[in-house]
Structure 1
């Protein structure tokens, strides 16, 4: 078990519906990380922006973006995660990919599709939560709109990190800030959210507000708003174990099971 985990949050603008250019841009940003890190987090739909035209950008699990992630993860000796548009069995998915340093992949399909934007009409929703075991840490990865649904994120498995990738618009960023902090506190876990910046083709503005919170809800990062930035935070297993043992809030949690 690794006692500390170094995580790089990449808050970036995205080129609309242009996977190749986004891969080039992120290659440069990832290459610029000179410190050894264990995990690199990219935003939601990082190859396209939050598009409702999946037919224009969708790839397969053997496509260019997956191969690119595997290659970079191997070169940098780190895990890389973020969501992309994937086509599988004639369905489109907003799929979070978690690529291990050896190229192995686990994935999570976004459970709560964003009905306000019509995401449910073009993307098939996932039905299963994913818990990733990595370097002795248990990670629960979720996507954007999932943040509004605390039951789906409830820490019933004693995970150590709750992770959100997003295209969360500036007009509702107060909710993003409040909910990330709340998820950390109620689940006694590290909670990390990586959001994009810039303007998309639908004229929606994104301010980023990416952040990392510890199990007490304390902000750990200094990522600026409204601009591209990369920041590395160090997570400590001792912090999780210390406060879960000292405060014991999770021992009093409600017992329940979810039906997809």
Structure 2
């Protein structure tokens, strides 16, 4: 069991509805990584931006991007995670892919589609959470709007790291900051949030605020500019405070339907 998990958060602008350009741009960023890492986290819909016109994206692009993620996971020897547009069985999905260094792929379809933007009308919502056991850490990856729904994120399965990938716009960035910290505190888990920056082709501005919070809600990383953030998560930190405070022992018992 690994005692530490080294994570990179890639905070970047995105090319609108242009998977090839985004893969090329992110590949150049990957090439700058020199540290030995365990996990590389990309934003939500990192090949297109937050598009509500998935018909503009060729259905082959999903397969291409997953192969690209597998390739970079192999090269960096680190898992690569982010969400992208997937067209499958005549349905569209905002699907998170967790590509392991050994080629294995886990996936999660966004549960809470963003009705304010009409995401619910063009993307099929997921129904199941994903738990990934990776290098001795249990990880729960979620997507953007999921952050507003604490019941869906509740730590009923004793995960260690909660991840949110996002395209969270600037006007509501205070909610992003507050909720990421709250999810860490209430679940006694590390909480990693990766947001994009820049302005998309619809005129929405994104200010980043990618961040990492520990189980007490202390800030381990935070940024408002284009950069790759690096942070080291420590198992001892989780164990020490869960054993000392035991808040998870008093969590409510419930089931999700």
TM-score w.r.t. length of structure 2: 0.98
Equivalences for residues 23-172 of structure 1 within 5 A: 23-57=23-57, 59=59, 63-172=63-172
Gaps of at least 5 residues in structure 1 are none
Runs of 4+ in structure 1 off by over 6 angstroms are none
> What is the match of residue 202 of structure 2?
202
Cα deviation for residue 199 of structure 1 reads 0.2
Equivalences for residues 157-196 of structure 1 within 5 A: 157-196=157-196
Quote the RMSD (CA, aligned, Å): 1.0
Q: Distance in 1 between matches of 2:187 and 2:116?
A: 27
Q: Distance in 1 between matches of 2:160 and 2:78?
A: 18
Structure 1 residues 170, 235: CA separation in 2 closer, same or farther (over 3 Å shift)? Answer: same
1:258 and 2:253 matched: no
Secondary structure of 2:219's partner?
A: coil
Gaps of at least 5 residues in structure 2 are none
Deviations 1:144-202 (A, max 9, x none): 00000000000000000000000000000000000000000000000000000000011
Between the two proteins, the alignment pairs up a number of residues equal to: 257
Cα deviation for residue 59 of structure 1 reads 3.7
Contact 1:95 1:108 in 2 (8 A): yes
Structure 1 residues 139, 60: CA separation in 2 closer, same or farther (over 3 Å shift)? Answer: farther
Structure 1 residues 131, 61: CA separation in 2 closer, same or farther (over 3 Å shift)? Answer: farther
Q: Distance in 2 between matches of 1:49 and 1:92?
A: 15
Secondary structure of 1:220's partner?
A: strand
Secondary structure of 2:220's partner?
A: coil
Secondary structure of 1:102's partner?
A: coil
TM-score w.r.t. length of structure 1: 0.97
1:11 and 2:47 matched: no
> What is the match of residue 229 of structure 2?
231
